[in-house]
């Protein structure tokens, strides 16, 4: 029993030594040090200076701004200043009025006011047309004509002109009010007054949000930059130097070589990410314009740690993608030529995130790079949600696992290691003979393809106004995702699916399945209520929304509803989870790993289904997955689980469909309350009896040897 542990320790030791060798070679290179150390040291101070110059060139309400008004003589200046003060304008050095105002004015006498504005010594010119009087008698008429001049090329001049014009208009209104009061006229100075306001405050958040989105975008792009050179050098570079063939000749498994190279690339990418994140944090904390540029952004240790964890996930994904591309290149230059379009394609979704009002929803949650940048922005602004974070982390982890599997398949191809031909064709070659199960790589790739389909499905379904149309589209996409796609993979890999359905369990198993199928819905409902209550959810409101959601089903024929929501999921989900995925995992890791993994993945997939209680149903669906997996393990067949899945869904749907006709009977109370205790007790007894019948059923000898 000691030998497996010794072998594992030896393999890990060899992998560690090989990884350290790859890291030493990479870190000795001056180009790696340049990307890792010098670029962050130079980039962020330069960006800080650029931002500073940009914001200094704009009229900024967060710092004090002093505008200069040019006049022709002191008397005119004194008169105009008194008018503008009445209109609410603040002048530099005032001890009255709004002394804390950020924008102030000063009056400056100029021999040629127009030239002063043109040369930049003043922002605006105010002058009287004709004679003016110092005093004002409300018993006499007053008519003063003023001229306001500013440069159209000056942003500050335009702002100053607008403020001066507004103050003079206010002063005119005050003088008119005084005149009307002196005459005894009950009329306000402004007969028609219009107020403007915005229905949304989104525009006030566009600038800070867009600037904050720059931070994760720059960090992800720099992380990619750090991983590019090591990925090229450790694959195409070694092949060009002729050292890859020597390394392959060593008594080391090729998968271990690839993992060592992958870890080396990932470590350099993470070191680059850490250096960039550190320098960016220091720059934001020390920059005097950080609040102007980034609003109330606080780079706390918790937020920095969360952003780094996000970069870790992204680096794991992109390092594998880079190895996939560079493994097929014959030289360093060829690898660079491959990566240029990859970088451009990666940049596009990242730039999309800089557009105003782009939210982390729908297909963007599973779009590579865009989801990382948007989640990073939401983490920095403390607006991230658990659902969105789960979708981003889950999809990126799937993409990373898929890329690693593809890289391993390409790297192990003889055409990549020894010949001048590329290895992409090796991805699509069919197996030489029939297979009993798909490979783990094929299973992971299939999940990666299926996962984004559900986000796409939500968007496509909204194109159809009727519920029947949306359900039909959902059923078709589910059949394609869980049936056609894994079926195509089985055809390419020559995997026979007949053994998944071939074992015939004893007769006593079927009554047990009927008991489970007609009773699990009640326990499922009570578990859902308990989870919602534990989360502090308004249970009645939540279940009323579910009742409304289920009530819409009555617009569709009951047979069509049962087909689309019970039969189609039961057949195709069991084909995928307890057939395709189960056999792939069981072949390499054993039945327990297959049982555990398929049950958890089954629950997670239902989390992203369009359902008002998707989160609350996560645990209940995962428990159902464990029950279906246990039946798959006991019977050795997908058929019993398919039957149970369809029956369970059908009973739950029919109870919701006919709930108004069942009022007062028990099941009709499902939308708003707990079930009666007798119903719950009866369901528990039926569930235990069903599990017992399945446990004592007769099975072929090969199944008995597995479950014993």
Residue 59 in contact with residue 155, Cβ under 8 Å?
yes
Mean pLDDT is lowest, of 163-167, 237-241, 698-702, for 698-702
CA distances to 269, 276, 278, 287, 334 from 39, in Å? 13, 9, 13, 19, 25
Reply yes or no on whether the pLDDT at 630 is more than 90.
Answer: yes
Q: How confident is the prediction for the chain on average, in pLDDT?
A: 75
Residue 590 structure tokens: 């054993």
Q: What percent of the chain has a predicted confidence (pLDDT) above 70? A: 67
Residue 392 in contact with residue 353, Cβ under 8 Å?
no
Reply yes or no on whether the pLDDT at 5 is more than 50.
Answer: no
Report pLDDT for 207: 43
Q: What pTM does this model have?
A: 0.60
> Half-sphere exposure of 454 toward its Cβ, with a 13 Å CA cutoff?
17
Residues 6+ apart with CB under 8 A from 76: 127, 128, 132
pLDDT, greater one: 77 or 250: 77
Residues 6+ apart with CB under 8 A from 505: 634, 635, 636, 637, 640, 697, 698, 699
d(CA 31, CA 267): 16
Reply yes or no on whether the pLDDT at 647 is more than 60.
Answer: yes
- Helix (H) / strand (E) element for 148: namely strand 145-150
Task: Provide mean pLDDT across the span 13-33.
Answer: 69
Report pLDDT for 61: 46
Report pLDDT for 297: 54
First to last CA, the chain: 21
Task: Provide mean pLDDT across the span 53-77.
Answer: 69
Residue pLDDT, tens place only, 186-225: 777 666 655 554 444 333 344 444 556 667 777 777 777 7
Report pLDDT for 252: 65
Residue 95 structure tokens: 């001890």
Report pLDDT for 572: 94
Q: How many CB atoms lie within 10 A of CB 598?
A: 25
Residue 688 in 3-state DSSP?
helix
Report pLDDT for 707: 46
Report pLDDT for 40: 62
Residue 692 in contact with residue 539, Cβ under 8 Å?
no
d(CA 489, CA 471): 26
Residue pLDDT, tens place only, 376-420: 777 777 777 777 787 888 888 888 888 877 777 776 554 445 444
Residue 69 in 3-state DSSP?
strand
Task: Provide mean pLDDT across the span 563-582.
Answer: 92
Describe the strand order of the beta sheet including 145-150 as a list of residue ranges. Answer: 103-109, 65-71, 124-129, 145-150
Q: Which of 453, 382, 42, 9 is nearest to 208 (CA)?
A: 382
Residue pLDDT, tens place only, 287-346: 554 554 454 555 667 777 777 787 788 888 888 888 888 877 777 777 777 777 777 777
Residue pLDDT, tens place only, 169-193: 888 888 888 888 877 777 776 666 5
d(CA 199, CA 506): 67
Report pLDDT for 37: 61
Residue 475 structure tokens: 């059923």
Report pLDDT for 4: 43
Residues across the chain? 708
- Helix (H) / strand (E) element for 278: namely helix 254-286
Report pLDDT for 420: 45
DSSP-assigned beta bridge partners for residue 66: 104
Report pLDDT for 199: 42
197 by Cβ neighbours in 10 Å (0-12 / 13-18 / 19+) ranks as: exposed
Q: What percent of the chain has a predicted confidence (pLDDT) above 90? A: 10
Q: Which of 449, 448, 400, 408 is nearest to 427 (CA)?
A: 408
Report pLDDT for 198: 42
**Tokens 């020597």 correspond to what residue?**
246
* CA 56 remoteness from chain centre: 34
Residue 607 in contact with residue 390, Cβ under 8 Å?
yes
Q: Which domains does the chain have, with CATH numbers?
A: 65-183 (3.40.190.10), 206-429 (no CATH), 498-707 (no CATH)
Task: Provide mean pLDDT across the span 643-656.
Answer: 89
Reply yes or no on whether the pLDDT at 704 is more than 50.
Answer: no
Report pLDDT for 286: 64
* CA 514 remoteness from chain centre: 42
Residue 390 in 3-state DSSP?
helix
Reply yes or no on whether the pLDDT at 452 is more than 70.
Answer: yes
Report pLDDT for 638: 92
Phi, psi of 70 (to 5 degrees): -95, 135
Residue 170 structure tokens: 């206010």
Report pLDDT for 515: 93
pLDDT, greater one: 686 or 249: 686
d(CA 606, CA 273): 34
Residue pLDDT, tens place only, 108-121: 888 888 888 888 88
Residue 482 in contact with residue 443, Cβ under 8 Å?
no
Mean pLDDT is lowest, of 130-139, 510-519, 552-561, 686-695, for 130-139
Report pLDDT for 62: 47
């Amino acid at each position: 029993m000691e030998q497996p542990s010794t072998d594992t320790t030896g393999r890990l030791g060899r992998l560690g030594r090989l990884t350290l060798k790859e890291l030493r070679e990479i870190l000795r290179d001056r180009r790696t040090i340049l990307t890792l150390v010098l670029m962050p040291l130079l980039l962020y101070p330069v960006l800080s200076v650029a931002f500073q110059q940009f914001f200094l060139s704009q009229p900024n309400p967060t710092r004090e701004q002093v505008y200069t008004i040019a006049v022709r003589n002191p008397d005119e200046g004194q008169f105009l200043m008194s008018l503008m003060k009445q209109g609410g304008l603040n002048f530099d050095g005032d001890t009255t009025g709004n002394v804390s105002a950020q924008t102030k004015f000063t009056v400056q006498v100029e021999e040629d006011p127009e030239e002063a504005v043109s040369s930049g010594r003043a922002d605006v010119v105010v002058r009287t047309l004709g004679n003016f009087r110092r005093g004002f008698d409300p018993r006499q008429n007053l008519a003063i004509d003023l001229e306001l001049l500013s440069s159209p090329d000056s942003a500050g001049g335009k702002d100053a002109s607008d403020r001066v014009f507004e103050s003079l208009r206010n002063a005119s209104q005050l003088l008119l009010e005084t005149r009307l009061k002196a005459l005894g006229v009950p009329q306000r100075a402004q007969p028609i007054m219009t107020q403007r306001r915005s229905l949304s405050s989104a525009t006030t958040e566009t600038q800070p949000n867009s600037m904050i989105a720059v931070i994760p975008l720059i960090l992800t792009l720099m992380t990619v930059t750090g991983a590019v050179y090591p990925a090229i050098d450790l694959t195409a570079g070694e092949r060009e130097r002729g050292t890859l063939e020597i390394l392959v000749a060593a008594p080391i498994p090729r998968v271990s070589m690839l993992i060592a190279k992958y870890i080396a690339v990932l470590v350099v990418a993470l070191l680059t990410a850490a250096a960039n994140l550190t320098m960016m944090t220091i720059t934001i904390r020390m920059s005097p314009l950080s609040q102007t540029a980034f609003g109330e952004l606080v780079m706390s240790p918790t937020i920095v740690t969360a952003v780094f964890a996000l970069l870790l996930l992204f680096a794991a994904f992109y390092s594998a993608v880079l190895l996939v591309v560079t493994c097929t290149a014959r030289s360093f230059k060829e690898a660079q030529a491959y990566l240029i379009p990859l970088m451009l394609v990666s940049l596009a979704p990242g730039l999309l995130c800089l557009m105003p009002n782009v939210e982390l929803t729908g297909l963007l949650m599973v779009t590579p790079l865009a989801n990382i940048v948007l989640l990073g922005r939401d983490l920095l602004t403390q607006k991230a949600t658990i659902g969105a974070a789960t979708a981003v982390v889950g999809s990126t982890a799937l993409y990373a696992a898929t890329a690693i599997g593809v890289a391993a398949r390409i790297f192990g191809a003889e055409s990549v290691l020894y010949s001048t031909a590329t290895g992409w064709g090796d991805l699509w070659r069919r197996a030489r003979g029939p297979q009993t199960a798909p490979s783990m790589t094929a299973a992971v790739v299939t999940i990666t393809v299926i996962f984004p389909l559900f986000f796409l499905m939500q968007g496509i379904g909204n194109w159809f106004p009727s519920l029947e149309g949306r359900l039909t589209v959902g059923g078709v996409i589910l059949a394609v995702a869980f049936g056609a796609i894994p079926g195509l993979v089985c055809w390419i890999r020559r995997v026979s699916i007949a053994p998944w359905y071939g074992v015939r369990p004893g007769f006593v198993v079927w009554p047990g399945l009927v008991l489970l199928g007609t009773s699990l819905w009640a326990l499922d409902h009570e578990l859902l209520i308990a989870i919602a209550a534990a989360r502090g959810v308004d249970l009645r409101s939540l279940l009323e929304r579910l009742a409304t959601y289920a009530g819409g089903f009555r617009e569709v024929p009951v047979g069509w509803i049962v087909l689309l929501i019970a039969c189609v999921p039961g057949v195709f989900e069991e084909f995928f989870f307890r057939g395709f995925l189960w056999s792939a995992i069981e072949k390499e890791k054993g039945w327990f790993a297959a049982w555990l993994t398929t049950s958890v993945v089954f629950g997670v997939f239902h989390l992203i289904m369009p359902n008002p209680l998707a989160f609350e149903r996560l645990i209940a669906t995962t428990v159902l997955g464990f029950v279906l997996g246990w039946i798959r393990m006991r019977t050795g067949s997908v058929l019993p689980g398919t039957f149970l899945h369809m029956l369970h869904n059908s009973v739950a749907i029919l109870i919701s469909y006919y709930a108004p006709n069942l009022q007062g009977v028990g099941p009709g109370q499902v939308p708003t309350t707990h079930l009666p205790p007798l119903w719950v007790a009866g369901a528990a007894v039926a569930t235990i009896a069903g599990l017992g019948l399945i446990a004592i059923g007769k099975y072929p000898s090969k199944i008995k040897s597995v479950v014993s």
